[in-house]
């Protein structure tokens, strides 16, 4: 009979433990830092591995939460209703769908051609982090403590057929904050194990954020009646605080990256 499993604990740091027939334990030094248990001879096929967290999940979550916070569909509800006050529910749903579609297409443009635009202007990714962080920080401050000017200066209603693109899709849904978010998250693609997977994660996060925004706009009247304007104001201020924190984090990462490219080592 083999030794107890706990007696092999020091070996797990240097190799792999593999269970032989009916629970016998074998040590394999060729597979570092992994524990594999196979019980096939006992009629059970099972494998457990200790692996690092895939960096794609944090990229997806950070992109989704930041983008949704910057779009802030709850804040857009009163604007949407004022622009569509003469429309019925069916027309409002159609306008909300078109605005969401246009917004997603704009995000796709900046996602796939943003790097090309940066090369044209000779802007480094670290500078994008810093500039995007400053934009997000300013937007967060504006959400947390509105100045009173609001967005009315550029949200005046135009022709009914055009409100879906201007001003709903842009700049209400895809404004400087969302553009800065997309460009900033693109700087994390180089850290991902797969470039295609990283692009897919950002695209999925953008789609989900736009989907949530569409649902909020499509049911704008019911949401305002349920939450109330005071509730929307409170949620907006809370969201603004965290948007500012995300912006400061991007600025910090950009400064550290810029210093590193110039040979300055930052010890945290």
pLDDT range class, residue 106, cuts 50, 70, 90: very high
d(CA 39, CA 46): 6
Pick the residue with more confidence: 174 or 8? 174
d(CA 199, CA 104): 14
d(CA 84, CA 97): 13
d(CA 215, CA 231): 18
| pTM, entire model | 0.61
Pick the residue with more confidence: 39 or 126? 126
Asked whether the predicted pLDDT for residue 117 surpasses 80, the reply is: yes
Q: Which two tokens stand for residue 82?
A: 């004022």
Contacts of 76 (CB under 8 A, 6+ apart): 168, 172, 173, 213, 216, 217
Residue 64 pLDDT: 92
Q: Which two tokens stand for residue 191?
A: 């850290």
Asked whether the predicted pLDDT for residue 45 surpasses 60, the reply is: no
Compute the mean pLDDT over every residue in the chain, rounded to the nearest whole number: 74
pLDDT in tens, 185-239: 877 777 777 888 888 899 999 999 999 999 999 998 888 788 887 887 887 788 7
């Amino acid at each position: 009979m083999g030794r107890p499993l706990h007696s092999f604990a020091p070996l797990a740091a240097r190799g792999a433990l593999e269970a032989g027939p009916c629970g016998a334990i074998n040590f394999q030094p060729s597979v570092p830092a992994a524990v594999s248990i196979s019980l096939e001879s006992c009629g059970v096929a099972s494998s457990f591995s200790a692996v690092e967290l895939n960096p794609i999940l944090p990229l997806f979550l950070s992109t989704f939460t930041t983008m949704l916070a910057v779009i802030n569909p709850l804040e857009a509800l009163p604007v949407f209703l004022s622009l569509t006050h003469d429309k019925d529910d069916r027309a409002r749903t159609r306008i909300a769908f078109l605005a969401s579609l246009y917004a997603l297409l704009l995000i796709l443009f900046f996602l796939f051609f943003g790097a090309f635009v940066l090369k044209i202007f000779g802007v480094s990714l670290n500078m994008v982090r810093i500039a995007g962080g400053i934009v997000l920080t300013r937007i967060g401050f504006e959400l947390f403590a509105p100045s009173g000017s609001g967005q009315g200066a550029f949200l005046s209603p135009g022709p009914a057929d055009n409100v879906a693109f201007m001003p709903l899709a842009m700049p209400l849904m895809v404004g400087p904050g969302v553009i800065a978010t997309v460009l900033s998250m693109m700087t994390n693609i180089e850290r991902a194990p797969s470039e295609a997977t990283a692009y897919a994660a950002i695209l999925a996060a953008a789609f989900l954020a736009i989907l949530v925004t569409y649902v909020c706009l499509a049911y704008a009247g019911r949401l305002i009646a349920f939450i109330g304007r005071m509730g929307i104001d409170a949620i907006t201020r809370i969201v603004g605080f965290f948007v500012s924190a995300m912006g400061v984090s991007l600025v910090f990462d950009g400064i550290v990256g810029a210093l590193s490219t110039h040979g300055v080592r930052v010890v945290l």
